[in-house]
Chain A
Amino acid sequence: MSQQEDLTRRLGESLEEAIRSLGQVAERLSGVEPNDARLEEQLGSALDEFRNMRAERARSREQLARLQADLDEVRRQCEELAVLVAELRKEKTSLEWERDQYVRSLQALLPKPPPMTITEEELLELEGRGVTFDQILKDIEDLTKGA
């Protein structure tokens, strides 16, 4: 549950609590005579409860306002980041194009290798006794260990 949902729930709960307290006060006062000393005591206690609840509600509202402000700020940042992502995507596309151009230029500039002088039999033999990439990697690992 998010902090904001939690606060909203707590505000709702404090309202329910206030209604419950009012019900309890009304119940307590139902058998009390108007001049009874307990009346003032009961009313004072109910007033304190309501003051506490009001203070709690004010704190919750402040917290809610702060969270709302945080949320707005995060949303603003998200929008800025989305713009940045779009710009970076464009830049990436442009860089990829530039890279491909460089590769093409390099390909054009490099001299062509001399033709192969190999027979099909030699190729088939090489296929049979060729070195695998795992062996190449093993050589590199040995070099790394020796580093």
Chain B
Amino acid sequence: MAPSSGGAYRVVYSEAVRERLRQLGEKARQAGLIERYAEALRVIEERLANRPLEWGDPLYSFPQLKLLICRGLYWVFAVEYAVHEGQRVVFLREYRLLPRNPLEP
């Protein structure tokens, strides 16, 4: 499978993350922020696909799995993801909301 957005890394979302993003998108829609929300997801995707190791702060690594767990912050999101440097794959783990954000007033 080729990188989804033409970046250096392939970004893989799980069904759980997809569902989470759907729920957050619904909240963004209700808050009148759906465009801003979509734009934020695009920016995050671009960063994950092109420079995941520079964007997020590394939290810890799993040498056996050859994974580095990172967390990047953008807008209202704290995005946790795992980078497999050898395979050039980024696994999205969780989209968390930062405290006091407009999606959960």
Contact = CB atoms under 8 A, between A and B. Distances in A.
A1 to B, nearest CB: 45
Given A113-B80, A123-B91, A146-B29, A132 B13 contact: yes
A127 interface: yes
Interface residues of A, number: 30
A137 interface: yes
A85 B24 CA distance: 38
A126 B13 CA distance: 8
A117 to B, nearest CB: 10
Contact of A134 (B4, B25, B59): B4
A124 B101 CA distance: 34
A89 B70 CA distance: 31
Contact of A131 (B12, B29, B71, B82): B12
A135 B73 contact: no
B54 interface: no
Given A103-B73, A131-B15, A144-B34, A115 B65 contact: no
